[in-house]
Each structure stands twice: as structure tokens, then as C-alpha cells.
Structure 1
Amino acid sequence: MKEIKRHLARLISLSLNSDQANYLAEQIDPRFNLHTVSGFSPSMAVPAQVAGDTIVDYFKKEEDLIKYFELMLDREGVFLFGSTISIKGIDGFRNLLLKKRWIYDQDVKQYLRDPFYQESINYFKSLQLIDLCSDIDYDATIENIKKHGENINEMELDWSITIRLYGLDRQRDEFIRNLVEFLLSKQNLTGHTFNIYTCLKELAINAGKANYKHLFTRSLNYDESRDDSGYRDVLEQFKKEIEEHGDRNLVQMARESDLYYDIVFKSNPNSFSIWVCNYIPISRVEKERLITRLNLNHFDMEHAFDQGDDLNEGAGLGLNLIMKILDSYGVRQEPIRVVFYPDATKIGFVLKRENMPATAPRSA
């Protein structure tokens, strides 16, 4: 965060006059006043470097600093308080944010932090990828995983497992549950199996549904980016398909198109993280819907039952159930994270070990 503060302070001092800098800070915190915080008399101009340093010191959260930069981007080229805003040194700061895993999405004009990443240490690296797209010997595969992990103890916390599939069925579902139980047992956390497995399963179901809806909509030659009554009709047809045939036909469509998704279950000394990665284009409308839903940050049962709402990106009872489970662990601020890349979407959660007692909490 120190590096971000230093670079942003310089960016502010090079790009904004004191009135512009103060105005943008007020958009984040209406109580902010540059003269008051910096100690300068209202009749005196605050030097540019002082303005930059004052603002980055005032905002204690990294998210607020990123929001300030977003506001600068949004107003670049705008005439404001006597001059047109022109951001100088922007490329260096953008590269720094990328290094810190802040990913900018052009559609929603927003930076989203990617908390999901792989590290070089991985005690399961020899397994690489568990490909469930085709039928395998599930019992033999789980035994092979146990063999690879038999010498892992509670102190060896750096590992990750990636599972690739088109969709869930009874056998794949049972395999994943056994896998989660084994991985948690190596750290004396077996009591959390049900909660972790449920969250992982709901993420997988949501990822599969997103893929199926994309293929189904494409089969009707309909533009997913449209947000009109016609799209609502498509969703109703999609819902009818699931009601009449389950996901059997949709999984076959995914298989024929080789449209899979990945589940990553990762451990490190501080936390567990689970995320799914879809490899389909997602429209601006769907991104906005998903961000709005996840920003609710609470279990919204009434909204989850809105007609057809469970067919939208990131909607329905699945993600709400994950929020409810994470809430029982004390994870209430941004319990589910989403990151958009040009060719992929990641969605998942991070659960800190300090929030995992010996006995799993019960969700209300």
C-alpha cells in the first residue's frame, strides 16, 4: 500500500490543482476538506505536493485510494475548477496496480482486485489439473490424490487443486466432496467439510449455469448484451429447458463446444480461497448485474426469489447461500469477489484461517 500511496500522491500533484484534488476527495468522503486536513488557511493555496500527500494519508483503505484514481480517470479531459484535467504519469501507476493485482474493466469503468492467484509452492503440483470433462475412474483418482498427499502435514499449507468440468452429476459431485474432505482432513479441519463443499458446489453450479445460458442464448441467435423484454423471453425459454430436461441437453451442448469451467481450491498459511473461472464473453449489462448483486453483501432471500432472477449472472439462491455461510464465519465485507479479464471471469471467496474455529459455525 505504501507504494500505491507514493505513486498516487505524485500523480495527484502532477495532474490536479488543489480545488480539483479536494473535489474528488469529497466524492469519497463528503466530510473531507483539503484546507482543514492539511492545516492551511482557507485564504491560502495548498501546494500541489501537499495536496497529494494529504489526500493519500487521509484515506486509510487501499480501496479508497483506488476509487480516487477511478474518479480521476472518469474526469480526465473534463474542464473543472479553472483547468482541464490531464493525468500525467498514468502508465506507470496502471502498471503498478496490475502488479498489485488490481484489474481494470473498461465496461464498468472500475478496478476490481483479484484475490485469486497461484503461488510457486504447491505440494500437489505433480497433479497439475484434474480433468473431469471426460469419464474417469473416480475411486482410483481420489486414491491417487491421497497418495500424493499422504506425507503432507498441518504445517505444509501451500497447495492448490484445479478441477475442470462441463457440469456436475452425481459421480462428479461425490468425487468433489471426497476431495474436499480429504484436503481439509490433512489440516484437522474435517468439521468444516460441509460448509466448504457447499460453497464450492454452489460456485460450480453458478459457473455451469453461466456457460449453459451463454450457449443456449447463442443457439437462438440472440445478443446477450441486450437488456430488454426479448432477453427476458430468452431467459424464460432457458428456464423452461431446465424445468423439462434438467441440464442434460445443456451439458451436451457444453461438451460439443468444449466449453468448460475451472474450479480452484487453494490453501496458504493465512487462508483458503475457492474460485471458479469461466471462459465466455460477458456483456457490460451482465457485469453490472453481477457487481450489483455481490455488492449487496447480505443474504437477500426476497430478491433471490424474484421471477427469473436466478437465471441472471451471479444471481439466485446459490451465491446468497454462500454469503450466508461466509457470514457465519464473520466474513461480511465483500464476501464474494469477482474479477473480469478480457477472456475470463473469476468469482469466488477467501476465508481466513483465523475465522475457522475448531468446530464449524452453523449458519443462521
Structure 2
Amino acid sequence: MATVTPRAIWKGAISFGLVHVPVALYSAIQDTRPKMRMLDQATGAPVGYQKVAKDTGQAVDKGDVVKGMEVDPGQFVTLTREEIREALPRSTQTIEIEGFVKREDVPATYFNKPYITGPVQRGRKVYALLREALQRTGRAALGRVVIANKQHLALVAPAGNALMLYLLRWADEIRDPAAVDLPGTAADEGVNERELKMGEQLVLELSDDWHPERFRDEFREKLEALVEAKRQAGDVRKAPMVEDEPAIASSADVIDLTELLRRSLQGAAATPAAASTTTAKARATRRPAATRRAANDEATSQRAAAAAEPVAKKTASAKVKPRAPAKKASSRSG
């Protein structure tokens, strides 16, 4: 299994009912592919890309480049930075849970990227409660989260001692397998019983347990060995490479777990629509996130000041610090 990078990329809370679980997100995967840059053969300096107008072949300054969406072949609607920024989702530093679904009901094609969540501040107790409640019920928490100005469908599910956050694809991103010309049943395709039994026997003979560590990226290993041999031989060219580190977002507060659980259950019992989060009526009658956060603030006087902070501050703290602009034609990766 890949080693977890200890640096948190996002901090906030998992919110369900009146309860907030303060967590930090850590990437559950790491890129081990060889990273190569384009270099000038004569000088060894990194080579980047220029923005070139396709009609004239001339370079275009960064300030003269605008974004547009094609509405008809060759016809574009341009958008200003302000218009795009206005359409961006507002970050609430919260993974808003909208329902609890069976883990096996989510098709594998929806899973996009995994993260490990870890408790922060004094959130270990409520983190453990949510994890084991999901384990006992066989459910996973389905909701939404905004990370780096992009809204995602997300699933929170237990995996051992961890709560994993899986970013999911939206339903309209999934292609219907029926669009591919697939074969019918084995009988429809002329497969006889003898051939089926031979196929089953072969599968059983090659049956094994899950041991992913047995498999390695042989191309990467050979390339790394070649690079190391050249390094040992002194075949190294020096070139400046500068990269900024991303900033870490702000954290969330911790609330009184027992009181909020009790009030969440009371609220669910008092509102018939709240008995089911899987229907449209239930979702329509749920209290808005701002109301739930206000109820959390009511649990302790220490959170009153935090509740009074402007939303703009929380939004600004959720954004990851952008990297420094790349130098034209020299600093972008190849």
C-alpha cells in the first residue's frame, strides 16, 4: 500500500444532523510514475510551451488569452474571469451528508479518487462514533464537498480504523454499458456446457487471494535503474527547478457530541419527513446547513464568536493557495 503523505490538503468537518466531525483530508494515493521534463539539448534548460494562435501561428500574451465554450462548431461564447469566479461553488469547509446508503449499492464506476480522513483537535471521540455506527449499520455517508473551488459528490465509508472519503463521479459522467455492442448470454453466443465447465475449471485453478504487492510497475523500475546508473556515472545536467508548496486550509471546531446526538434524534422523531433521507420530500424538508451550524454554535458559548465570523472569511480560508504563474516558454513541465 502506498505511503500516506502526512501533509493535510484540506481541513473542515463531516456534518450530519446537528453533529460536526472535525477532520483533515490526506491523499490515499501517490504518483510513482517517472517524472520527466523537456530540456534544451544544448544548454539543459527546461523547455515550456507557448500559447499560439492557430490561425496565424503567432505567440499570444497571457493577458490576451480568454476562456470560451463552444456552442456550435467554430462558434464560442467567451467568459470573463469574474463571470467564472461568480459561478464557482462556495466553500463551507464542510462535508454535508445528505443520506446514508448501502456501500454495495454504489457501482464501482462512480469511484474517482480516495482520501483518508483523520480527526483533528478534540474530534477523536465523534470520529470513532461515526466510524463504528457506519460499520454496525453497513452504511456509508453520501454527501457533497467543495475542494479547491470544485464541488464533488462524496462518499464517507469505514475502512479498518479509518474513515475514507471517496470523491464520486456525477451520474451524467457515467456512460451506459448498453451503448457498447456487448454479447448476450453464453448460450446466445453459442457457448456449450462443456466449454463453460472448462472455463470454470481454469478460473478455479488460478484462484488466489488479494495480494497487490506482488505486482510492480516494471517500466518504472527499469527506468529508475537506468537513471541511477547514469547518475553514478556522472551523466547529470544541472537546471533550476522551483516549485511552491500549497497552503493548508483552516480547521473546524468541536462540539458537544452527546447533546447534539440527542437533539438530532429528537428532531428526526418530531419531523415525519426526516425519517427517510432517501426521498425527495425528506431532502426538501431538511433544515439548511446554515441552521444546523447555528444549532452547533448553540451547544457551547465558546463557538459563538466563530459563528459570528463573516462567511467570506471561511470561503477564503478554504481555497488552496495557487501556484506561482509559470514563466513563459521556460518553466512549465513537459
Same fold (TM over 0.5): no
TM-score scaled to structure 1, two decimals? 0.17
Compare the two structures and name the one with the higher helix fraction. Answer: 1
Larger radius of gyration: 2
TM-score by structure 2 length? Answer: 0.18
